[in-house]
Amino acid sequence: MSVRDLTKIFPGRGGGHKAVDAVSFELEPGGALGIVGESGSGKTTIARMLIGLESATAGSMSVLGRDRSRPARGAAERRARARELQIVFQDPYTSLDPSQSARAAVDEVLRHHAAGAARAARADASTRSRSRSGPDPRSAPTKATGPTSGSDPAIDTRPDADSNTRPVTSPSTNADPRDARARQTRLEELLDQVGLTERQSHARPRDLSGGQRQRVAIARALAADPAVLILDEAVSALDVSIQAQILNLLVDIRARTGIAYILISHDLAVVRQLCDSALVLRSGRVIEQGSCADILDNPAEDYTRALRAAVPVPGWRPPQH
């Protein structure tokens, strides 16, 4: 993922409000970048621009080489973008459709992308001349996980998935009963991966706790098999013990699938736990950027130092005035 000079100006008096000011960063496949900042730093606006819910005033962003600076045109492109980048929101109480069980929510996404893939495969079959062995950007994260590297882009990158049953492998899979079976397998696998029981997977969100809902949201995001997952304060609203469970889960998922994370958080400890690199935002500008350890252990900027110094740790005392 590559972001160049991303800028967002909200219209208003006096030339508007510059919420994000020329932010640039790179994220390698399988990497984990923390975007740190206090309220009003523009971190959520960046997330909304990345996922296309907000348009950028200037700058460019691309995932796996595909530009996403402009709004998606057509269903196929929307779907393709969805398979590149997904998001988990902060509030597990409003980020799920209240009338959908976990199972239904994940299955809906699987169907949606399977249908899109089948359509693409048909189109592909009709224009056989187009080679599939060209430089496939999605194979990059796959390499990180080993055994299935270099395979079809739509194939599950998880080593424990049975890649032969994936619908896209044969172009003539339309309405194939194997489709349904493969989807079912994948559904169980996703629910299992995020640690939801059979019973929870049938429950409506209102009967689930905050942590369980967040698991559902993660499963739904993973169902699109994205290369990058944005975690927008995804553990901030959870109880401490639940937060630890979800953090462990996220570490496991990354280790297992080679997915890349962008973690948006105000919590430096959470960023340290999950991320390799980090950037510190203040009033829409990048103050400091680099490896997570460097920034937290040897902050170069006063602001970063102040941020770090304000975190209560063992032995910390409140500042005296």
Partner 1 sequence: MSADTRALLEIENLTVRLADPAADDAPKPLLEGISLSLAPGEALGLVGESGSGKSMTIRAATRLLPPRASVEGAIRFEGTDVTRMSGPALRAYRDTGVGMVFQDPRAHINPTRRIGAFLTEALVRNRGVGRREATARAAAVLGEVGIDDPARRLRQYPHELSGGMLQRVMIASVLLAEPRLILADEPTTALDVTIQSEVVGILDRLRRDRGIGMVFITHDLDLALAVCGRVAVMYAGRIVELRDAKDLHERAAHPYTLGLLGSRPSIDVRSARLTAIPGRPRGAFESGPGCAFADRCAHAQDVCRTTPPEPVRFRDGDVRCHLLDQIHSVPTAAREGGAA
Partner 2 sequence: MRIHILGRIARARASLGPAGTVAAVFLLLVLLMAVLAPLVAPQDPNLQSLLDAYSGPSGAHLLGTDGLGRDIASRLVYGSRTSLLGPTLVVAVALGVGVPLALLAAWYGGWVNAVVARVFDLVYALPGLLLAVLAVALFGPGLMPAVVALSIAYIPFLARIVLAAARQQRVSPYVDALAVQGFGVVRITVRHILRNIGPVVLGQAAIAFGYALLDLASLSYLGLAVQAPTADWGVMVSDSNALLQGYWLPVLAPGVLIVCCVLSLTVLGARISGERPQPYLRTRRRARTTARTQPAAVDQNGAAA
# residues contacting partner 2 (CB under 8 A):
47
Among candidate residues 122, 146, 251, the one with its CA nearest the CA of residue 163: 146
237 part of the interface to partner 1, by CB under 8 A: no
Token duo for residue 183: 């989807």
Member of 112, 251, 256, 283 binding partner 1 (CB under 8 A): 251
Binding mask 53-72 for partner 2 (x = CB under 8 A): x------------------x
Helix axes 102-126, 210-223, angle to 10 degrees: 10
Residue with smaller CB distance to partner 1, 121 or 275: 275
The region of 119-127, 156-164, 179-187, 192-200 touching partner 2 under the rule CB under 8 A is 192-200
Give the 3-state secondary structure percentages of the chain, helix then strand then coil, rounded to 5.
40, 20, 40
What residue type is assigned to position 177 of the chain?
P
Member of 273, 277, 289, 304 binding partner 1 (CB under 8 A): 273
Q: Which of residues 123-182 bind partner 1 (CB under 8 A)?
A: none
Binding mask 90-129 for partner 2 (x = CB under 8 A): -x--xxxxxxx--------x--xx--x-------------
199 part of the interface to partner 1, by CB under 8 A: no
The strands making up 66-67's β-sheet, listed across from edge to edge, are: 17-26, 2-10, 58-63, 66-67
Buried b (16+ CB within 10 A) or exposed e, 108-119: ebbeebbebbbe
Out of partner 1, partner 2, none, which partner does residue 120 contact, by CB within 5 to 8 A per kind? Answer: none
Out of partner 2, partner 1, none, which partner does residue 86 contact, by CB within 5 to 8 A per kind? Answer: partner 2
What residue type is assigned to position 182 of the chain?
A
| Non-local CB neighbours of 280 within 8 Å, separated by 6+ positions | 36, 37, 286, 287, 288, 289, 295, 301, 303, 304, 307
318 part of the interface to partner 1, by CB under 8 A: yes
185 part of the interface to partner 1, by CB under 8 A: no
Buried b (16+ CB within 10 A) or exposed e, 164-185: ebbbbbeeebeeeeebeebbee
- Report the interface residues with partner 2, using CB under 8 A: 51-53, 72, 75, 78-83, 85-87, 89, 91, 94-100, 109, 112-113, 116, 195-197, 199-200, 203, 206-209, 211-212, 217, 220-221, 224, 244-245, 248-249
